Structures are given as structure tokens and as C-alpha cells.
Amino acid sequence: MTTKSPKDYKGSEYVITREFAAPRELVFKAWTDPKHLAQWWGPRGFTNPVCEWDPKPGKKINVVMRAPNGTDYPMGGEFIEIIAPEKLVFTSGALDEKGVMLFEFLHTVTFVESKGKTLLTIRSRVTKTTAEAGKYIGGFEAGMTQSLERLEEHLQPKTGPLIVERTFAAPMATVWKAITNKDDMARWYFDLKEFKAEVGFEFRFSVEHQGFTYNHHCKILEVVSGKKLVHSWRYEGHEGDSKVTWELFAEGDQTRLKLTHTGLESFPKTPSFARSNFEGGWTHLVGLSLKDFVENVDREIVITRTVNAPRELVWEAMTNAHHVIHWWGPHGFSTTVKEMDFRVDGVWKLVMHGPDGANYPNEHIFKEIVKPERIVLAHSGKREGGAMVTSEKTWMFDVVEGGKTKVTIRMIFQSPEERDRVVKEFGAVEGGKQTLERLSEYLPQMQATASKSK
């Protein structure tokens, strides 16, 4: 959904669906029993020290979500309708320090059972809003998505195979390529030196977690091209041997993926190998990373460059208008920054001036800022007098060995056709490469200036 100013959110509606491999009564109980709800409600890392949740018409809601940094976010609301185990209707919204609701959502949650699974649909409409509401409403979809991931983990059996299923709006061929092509895998999974979907092929990769490095050693055990991939999964230097099975099923023009990880009980009985870590990891990889990749790969542009400067300096070059004007745009372009309000929901307006005299007005709205790792923007721009182009842009900054920084620009357009038009008419790919080249050339000047000022 396009980022809006707070006053525009009223009437906005969000629809989120998710299928759970659990019977409807159990999913409904997880939504209506406060002891269960407190264990999964809220984004990852959040807890719910207060969870007054009594699903009866007219009963008030009082939940206090506590962020990992200790900040409390109180939430109020009221139950309107309950039809067990089919439907749940309630209002909710964040409260200010005086207990006044900053905004209000009307949620209608339905539960449909089919063959032992439950299809959950959440329809959430903004009914009230205030000037302070934007930062909360803008993150609603991401926050609720993480909550549902936590719910899925909560519903998982605590023993036996770990199963994660997702349905993607992408053909089977696209999903199969995403899980078997090393270049695609590097985008959403792990960066592998080599990978072949051939029985007997062995692959390795390393993951750092909480200061420790875990070296994975896997071997392909079974391949049914386009449909099924099975490989072992173990850790060098640690006991235990497990198996991961990827299965693809066509459902119309969509693809259902079922991941099954067996043998988790063979790993050491330590916190690092806790089942919850595997649940969280696979849910994130399959439910977020892979889904985002396969559903957007045909309408995205991705450009990367490693620059010889520390991440903090690159972040400053990107977020300070005084620096941006020196490197933004392809070779031969200059840039005038009209406004740069660097905060979530802040507006950034600039005009690029081409060497042929053409002007390109652009406007961005900052949707997400994670210093110094990531910036997400809603972008609209055009050649003066031409048609508008809109996209979602993400700038990512990753630390690279040797004090360097890998800069990645990802642009997602409304359709593959729009992506192709931007590439053809505006030279977006080459323009992005030249922009990062100019950034790389400007950073030494920033470093030299910083050194002189010390």
C-alpha cells in the first residue's frame, strides 16, 4: 500500500491471509485465550506483560506490548462480535500516555477449516486517526505479518518434523529456480559458492549467530526436477544429522511450497540448537524472504556495488542533503534538494538536472529507517512533462571485510511492464550503476574532509 500522510489513512483497508497447518478450534483458541495470545502477539522480540483479552461482546481490550529495548506500547479496543470458532470482530488502536486512542482499526478475523488446516483472513479498516497515527499505521502490515509468523511457530508441535508451508503468487518454475539457482538463492537464502540440484552434490555455507560461526554441511539426497528437493543438514563439529525436504505443488497460477525439516532432536540440547530457532529461521526464510523474492523478481531492479568506505560514512553520504547533491544521479547530472525530512513519513523532494537541460522532479517518502542498515522509500518521479513512475526503493548497507560497504539498491515497480518501461526509457539500470559509481568516487573526499576536521 502506498505511504500516506496521517490524515489520509482513515478508510484504508488491509487484507492479510495465512493458512495454518492446525485445526480451526486450535487456531481460534490461540486468538481468544489470553495465555496463548500473549505468547505470539506483536512483532518479533516483543512481549506482552499485560494481556487483558476477554473475547465477549462489549468487553474492553487492554494489552501492553513491550519492545526489546524495554519501551511499552499500550493498546486498547473492544470486542464487537464472536462466533466460535468462525469469526472474531474487534477494534484496536495504540494509546497515548493519557490512555487516549491515537487511531482505531476495525478488525474482522475469519477462520475457515479445510482438511485439518485453517485459512485465516484478517480484514482491518482504519475507522479513526490522528496526526500522530502515521508511524503506527504505516507499519501495521509488517507488524501483523510478524505476529502471524509467531503464531505459526506457537501452533507448531513441539516434537517431530518441523513443517512450514506457504503459497506464492508465482509459477512453479520461478519457485524451483529460486531454490536451486545459487544466484537466486543468494538473494533470499544464503550465499553459496556453488550449488547443483544433483544427487550426491555437497554444499557448505557459514552463518554467524550471537558471536559464533556455524559451518553447515549438506548433501543432496533426492531430486524430482521442478517438484522436489531433499538434502541433509548438519553442522561441522557438532553432533546430529537432519534432513530438509522442499516440495512444490501447483495451485492454479500459484505455487504451494512445503518445507519439512526432520531430525532436529538429534542436535545438541543447547539453546543454540533449540527448536524455536529453527522455527523462526525457516518461517522467516520461506514466509518472508522467499515470498518477497519470487513474487517480485519480475518487476524489480537490483543494483549493487562495494565501496571502499565504512558503513557509517556511507550512511552519512546517503542521509545528509549536503552530501547527496555531490553524487546523486548518473554522470553529467546535477541535483537540487528541495526538502529532506529524514524520518519515517518524512518527505524528500529533489530535482535532477540532465546534461541535455531536462529536469526530473522526484519525491520520496521515508517508510522505514534502520540505521545504519536499511532505508525504505516510496518513490515517484518523472521527466518534466512526462508520465509519472512510482516504485518502492530499498537501500541496504552491508559491512564487508576490510572496512568496506556493500550498497544495494532495490526498486519494485507496479508491474513487469512498468519495470521494463523504466529500463528502456530512463536507462534505470545503467543510471543506478553510474549513481553508485559517483558515490564511490565522492566518499574519499568525505573521508579526507573528516580527517582534516579531527
The mean pLDDT value for 83-111 works out to 96
Give me the pLDDT at residue 453, please. 63
Second-level CATH architecture of 162-296: 2-Layer Sandwich (3.30)
- pLDDT tens digits along 61-83: 999 999 999 999 999 999 999 99
Domain ranges for the chain, please list them. Answer: 6-148, 162-296, 308-453
Pick 308-453's CATH classification: 3.20.20.70, 3.30.530.20, 1.10.150.120, 3.40.50.970.
3.30.530.20
Three-state SS across the chain?
CCCCCHHHCCCCEEEEEEEECCCHHHHHHHHHCHHHHCCCCCCCCCEEEEEECCCCCCCEEEEEEECCCCCEEEEEEEEEEEECCCEEEEEEEEECCCCCECCEEEEEEEEEEECCEEEEEEEEEEEECCCCCHHHHCCHHHHHHHHHHHHHHHHCCCCCCEEEEEEECCCHHHHHHHHHCHHHHHHHCCCCCCCCCCCCCEEEEEEEECCEEEEEEEEEEEEECCCEEEEEEEECCCCCCEEEEEEEEEECCEEEEEEEEECHHHCCCCHHHCHHHHHHHHHHHHHHHHHHHHHHHHHEEEEEEEECCCHHHHHHHHHCHHHHCCCCCCCCCEEEEEEECCCCCCEEEEEEECCCCCEEEEEEEEEEEECCCEEEEEEEECCCCCCCEEEEEEEEEEEECCCEEEEEEEEEECCHHHHHHHHHHHCHHHHHHHHHHHHHHHHHHHHHHHHHHC
Domains 6-148 and 162-296 share a fold: yes
Instruction: Tell me the average pLDDT of the chain.
Output: 94
Give me the pLDDT at residue 7, please. 47
Would you tell me how many other CB atoms lie within 10 Å of the CB of residue 163? 16
CATH class of the 6-148 domain in this structure: alpha beta
- pLDDT tens digits along 362-376: 999 999 999 999 999
- pLDDT tens digits along 270-309: 989 999 899 989 999 998 899 999 999 999 999 999 999 9
Burial class from Cβ neighbours inside 10 Å (0-12, 13-18, 19+) for residue 24 reads buried
At residue 52, does pLDDT exceed 80? yes
